[in-house]
Structure 1
Amino acid sequence: MSSLQHTQALLDWGREVGIYVNPKLLIPAVFPPGYVGVQATEAISPRETLLTIPNAALLSTKVTSPPELQELYSAHQELFSSTSKEHEDYKMIAYILFELTKGENSYWSPYFKSLPLDPENMLDWTAEDLSELQDPALAFDIKIRADKDKECNKIFQNALLECPDIFNLENASMEKIIWAWRVIVTRSFGRVIPFPALIPIADLLNHENCKTCYYYGSETDMAPDYHPDGKDSDEEDDDEEIYESPVSILLSSQKLHRINFGAYEGEDLDIISKQIAAEAKKLDARLFLEKLKVADRVSEVVNLEESEEKRFRMVTAKDKGYEAGSQTYIPYGRYSNRMLLTNYGFALTENYYNYARIKFFLKEILSPKQLEKLTQHYNENMEIAFKFKKQYLNTDFLGILRGLSWNHQFHQPQAFFSPTNFQLELESLNKMKILISQKYGEFPTTLEADKAELSNTNISRRYFALLYRIGVKECLTGQILLINIAIKIIERLINGENLADALKIIPELEEENNFVYHRKGLKEYTDKLQEST
């Protein structure tokens, strides 16, 4: 049976179990340069239902505890109880493998047959493949993840084999465990349904940074305008932390104060130091509270109480529709190309959540005196890491450089954390530009060369590696562009112009350089300038 026939069999099964597919959707459809996805055969309007799936067709952790597996779960609570971070994933894998032993008799058989035989992500890449990313930190992260997966999979397999009446080396082979694990990683839904679940047919749509409303409720309920990527600060990604050694340190406002004032000797700066220390403490406390507020917004808008009468629904957002002939997408999450490659094995040409994660040694950003004092207690090779996006000026990194460059002899205390001293701002922006330009210059190939090669490369690991490193370099060049604009604004302020006139440089540069300026990119910085002036 071909993959096309398996997909058709899945659609037939879906109709039998009550899955609704909008008749305007063609499944499957092929798009250049060879992607398989879902196509709108007619125009699809905003707020139009794409799919609905009954509760009984959700392969969720609610159904992964049949009596046959209870002995396994009880004997290995270190894997299957809530004390394990991955306990829901492990239950899903065990259940999938258990259902596979039933063959055609499994309720989920048509779904399993429709799944790809070899779902791949970046954990499958060789060292040579990873080198094409031009990102040693990411290559290190992938190696750690791959090693951890191997270790965990072996422990999991040994647990399954302790139930010989159900599992043996054939139906619980490492290949099948990895396959099931990859299926869950690449296809499971969560957050807007009661339990993490695989949702047949819904997972056939490809990813894009678009708005799609997900809803779990009755047919009579209207789906709210909620989608999993709709946080207020929607420029932030949902990427996992990267594995690295040594771990990058965080420079809090209070640490920044201590580093700066630690370099002064024999001077009575107690009053000024206490003033800045108090402000640093308030800034750190405010940041901590903001992190605490990053809670799951689902509970605010969706009732996740499980019910057999409820259905999972996909609805286009109030401002999102599709033209006839276009591909229909859903968002998998607010992921950069790093996370898309890690989990799903692909990257996007244009990714709103993309960034360049760049590390700096402390010795690169500290003055000789600051470094001398700091290395009495710390290693000078310690690093800090920042995410640079092409559409937003990184004011956090700028703030670090400002605080390190601040000098009590020339600057007022308020200039330590705010852009009130324009000469200090100009110095900090120029230093930021030099540092980022140096990092960009360390790449073995140019952005232009990568783009030229991409146009002649077929879909492959190398193709996605090129997309990844192109995205990183675009983020750095975009950041440099924003820094240049900020420098011109500050220079005008130094020359005596008011802020309103200084900001007129933005549309002038747009016309001169023929580029699209992301107006939100400098808003945070210009707002702070407004407060300062």
Structure 2
Amino acid sequence: KIAATKRNNRIKKSAKNGDSQRKGRASPTCHELLGEAIARVTGFMNTLRLDQRIEADKKDPFFRMVTWLKEGGARFPELYMRRYRDDHRGVHALTNIDPQKEILYVPLKFIMTSEMAKSSPIGKSIALSKVEVESSHTWLAAFLLSEKAKQKSSFFYPYISILPETFSTIPLFFKQDLLDELKGSFSLEKIDRRNEHLRKEFDAIAAKVPEFKKFGHDAFVWARLVIITRIFGIVVNNIKTDGLVPYADMLNHKLPRDTAWTYQDTLKGFTINTCRPIKLGEEVFDSYGRKCNHRFFVNYGFALTENEDNEAVVTVRLKSSDPEASRKARIFQNFLVRPYHERSYQIPAKYDQKTRALFGFLRLCKMNAKELLAFAGERKMIRHDPEALLENVLPTSKRNELLVLQEVQQAAETAMSAFSTSIETDEKLLKNKDYKSLNHRNCIVMRLGEKKVLQWFIDLADRATRMLEYRSFLSFASHAKAIMHQDTEFDVYVEKVLEPLAINESMLL
């Protein structure tokens, strides 16, 4: 009613003051204005009734959960849930909401925490068995399954009853035709590892805890997916823990974030506050953090079309034909860099910590006898952090860096060749919406993101090689000025690597 009144008032005000866009045309009659107002209000109210069906239908499990939460002291008066399709829903604003305003409060008693799980009967049985639990999520998964088995006698039944029965968008359950769409993607390895880990975790505990074995492997996988898709990392009474927070876990992901969440000991509950103004009817988002698409894809079942945190995998090697191979192998072994003969790096399209480790490994691999002697003499560092050693290996000469760039380009091209489609093909498929299902679309987005990262490194090698071919620093600086500020991440590599290298080489000349 409030929303309808506001809209009606805006229409009346517009009619009274005159609409500048109507100049030059006949003024609308009262009947036309009234008809327009009725159409707008009716349309909004029909939409609102449809959207609120999740919570308004007393037979719907969501109604039961909302009632359970409200009766227990939870607060979210300015929010409602909207269902887009059977397996997709979101949270929307019932009114205009100011920034820095609390929009949700869930008392601690409604939150399933890891501590609660460990102190439960099933948790104690697992602890007494002395079995090594590899993932902290397993404790909550076991507790969730034990509570689910209680059905309506469980305090958490209203929450458990709204949890999805299946996870059709999670690639762990993809059939071969969809997995074939991921040919060349390192997400296939991630999927295999996740399935292997879940099987290993279940079998290890089931062998020692009979009551856990009764749940079955499929149910355990379901519970683990519930945890990973809904978990919040919180601190309760100075204890870091994980928790399932009803209603809060209904918010979808977006960057930059709309909201900020935390657990507040003073309130003894979980709260969400707005970070910006949110308009009536607008979807309210959470942020799942900055992640590569493979984590969104494998863990949550979606992939972002634009994601600057995407990564790709390249494999590089210390060639056995290198005349200094044995000396380099000893250095790698001495600094605990293993394996050293072949290493795979998961890297983003930027010169960050991960990329520096890749370049550092290759710089060592490409050093000549003189450079190797100087490096071995300089490095008297702690051996317990080999990656820190690699990240801080600087280029020793233009010759060295040119060889590194050549190796990076070849590794990226090799990884690119493993895909069945090109970047252009995938972009066209997405633009024309030429995919069979949402899962098919996510496969395309996933592989396209990797290929764009690989292409960035191929292009970086081309551009950097051209810059290093200039003999004078003035020529280098002139070319750098012409091409920089077009790619911020490439600029970082120029400033941190190429520019100091060009200055040093010019001084030597």
Output the TM-score relative to the length of structure 2.
Answer: 0.69
Q: Which residue of 1 aligns with 2:349?
A: 390
User: What is the correspondence of 1:81-480 to structure 2 with a 5 Å cutoff?
Assistant: 84-86=133-135, 88-120=136-168, 121-135=170-184, 138-157=187-206, 161-162=210-211, 172-193=215-236, 194=239, 195-211=241-257, 212-218=259-265, 309-317=267-275, 322=278, 326-363=282-319, 368-370=322-324, 382-392=341-351, 394-407=355-368, 417-419=393-395, 421-454=397-430, 455-480=433-458
Q: Per-residue deviation at 1:475?
A: 0.8
1:6 and 2:61 aligned: yes
CA distance in 2 between partners of 1:436 and 1:168 (Å): 45
* DSSP 3-state at the match of 1:403: helix
Q: Distance in 1 between matches of 2:261 and 2:225?
A: 23
Secondary structure of 1:21's counterpart equals coil
In the alignment, which residue of structure 1 is the partner of 2:496?
Answer: 527
Which string of whole-angstrom CA distances, capped at 9 and with x for unpartnered residues, describes residues 346-392 of structure 1?
222122321001223444xx754345888999999942112232244
Q: Please list the CA deviations of residues 398-442 of structure 1 after superposition, one character each: whole Å capped at 9, or x if unmatched.
A: 343333333357999589943464454344334433442343234
Is the alpha carbon distance of 1:70 and 1:218 closer, same or farther for their aligned partners in structure 2, counting shifts above 3 Å? closer
Helix, strand or coil at the partner of 1:369:
coil
Contact preservation (8 Å) 1:337, 1:354? yes
Secondary structure of residue in 1 paired with 2:161: helix
Query: Structure 1's 327 and 524: CA in aligned 2 closer, same or farther, altered over 3 A?
Result: farther
**Which residue of structure 1 lines up, in the alignment, with residue 482 of structure 2?**
505
Structure 1 residue identity aligned to 2:188: A
1:345 to partner: Cα distance: 2.3
Q: Pick one of 487, 496, 503 that aligns with 2:465.
A: 487
Which secondary structure does the structure 1 equivalent of 2:446 belong to? helix
Shift of the 463–370 alpha-carbon distance from structure 1 to 2, 3 Å rule, reads farther
Give 2:450's aligned amino acid. Answer: V
**CA pair 130-474 structure 1, distance change in 2 beyond 3 A:** same
Identify the match of residue 114 of structure 2 among 39, 57, 61.
Answer: 61
2:104 to 41, 51, 74: 51
Distance of 1:71 and 1:411 partners within structure 2 = 56
Does structure 2 retain, via aligned residues, the 8 Å contact 1:209–1:351?
A: no
Displacement of 1:216: 1.8
| Cα distance, 1:205–1:405 mapped onto 2, change above 3 Å | same
The number of residue pairs the alignment matches comes to 417
In 1: Cα distance, 2:285 partner to 2:463 partner? 35
In structure 2, distance between residues paired with 1:529 and 1:375: 27
Alpha-carbon offset, residue 41 of structure 1? 5.5
The equivalent residue for 1:28 is 82
1:148 Cα offset (Å): 3.5
SS of aligned partner of 1:190: strand
Retained in 2: the 8 A contact 1:30–1:36? yes
Aligned mates of 2:426, 2:463 — CA distance in 1: 26
Q: Which amino acid aligns with 1:369?
A: P
Does the residue aligned with 2:105 lie in a helix, a strand or coil? strand
**Alpha-carbon distance change, 369 to 3 in structure 1, aligned in 2, over 3 angstroms:** farther
The 1:402/1:58 distance shift into structure 2, 3 A limit, reads same
Provide the rounded CA distance (Å) in 2 between the counterparts of 1:453 and 1:92: 40
Could you list the per-position Cα deviations for residues 456-495 of structure 1 after superposition, in whole angstroms to 9, with x for gaps in the alignment? Answer: 1144432222111111001111223333443344345x34
| Structure (1 or 2) with the larger CA radius of gyration | 2
- Call closer, same or farther: CA 1:485–1:49 in 2, change over 3 Å: farther
Counterpart AA for 1:469: R
Return the letter of the residue paired with 1:448.
E
SS at structure 2 position matched to 1:196: strand
Q: Which amino acid aligns with 1:396?
A: A
Task: Give, in angstroms, the shift of residue 147 of structure 1.
Answer: 3.2
Report what 1:265 is aligned to. none
Is the 1:157–1:174 Cα contact (8 Å) retained in structure 2? no
Structure 2: unaligned runs, 5 residues or longer: 1-52, 379-391, 504-509
Q: Which moved more, 1:199-208 or 1:423-432?
A: 423-432
Q: Distance in 2 between matches of 1:42 and 1:520?
A: 41
CA distance in 2, matches of 1:157, 1:424: 54
CA shift for structure 1 position 112: 0.7
Give TM-score, length-normalised by structure 1. Answer: 0.66
On the 8 A contact 2:362/2:404 being kept in 1, the answer is: yes
What is residue 125 of structure 2 aligned with on the other side?
72
Change (3 A) 1:119 1:159: farther
Tell me if structure 2 keeps the 8 A contact 1:419–1:528.
yes
Instruction: Supply the distance in 2 between the matched residues of 1:71 and 1:35 (Cα, whole angstroms).
Output: 36
1:506–1:201: structure 2 CA closer, same or farther, 3 Å change rule?
same
- 1:399/1:417 contact within 8 Å kept: yes
Residues 47-105 of structure 1: per-residue CA shift (max 9 Å, x gap):
33342221122111333356755773464232xxxx5333x534323332332233223
Retained in 2: the 8 A contact 1:354–1:475? yes
State the superposition RMSD in angstroms.
Answer: 4.0
Cα distance in 1 between the residues matched to 2:394 and 2:407:
17
In the alignment, which of 58, 82, 90 is matched to residue 37 of structure 1?
90
Amino acid at match of 1:27: M
- Per the alignment, residue 254 of structure 1 pairs with none
Q: Distance in 1 between matches of 2:117 and 2:357?
A: 45
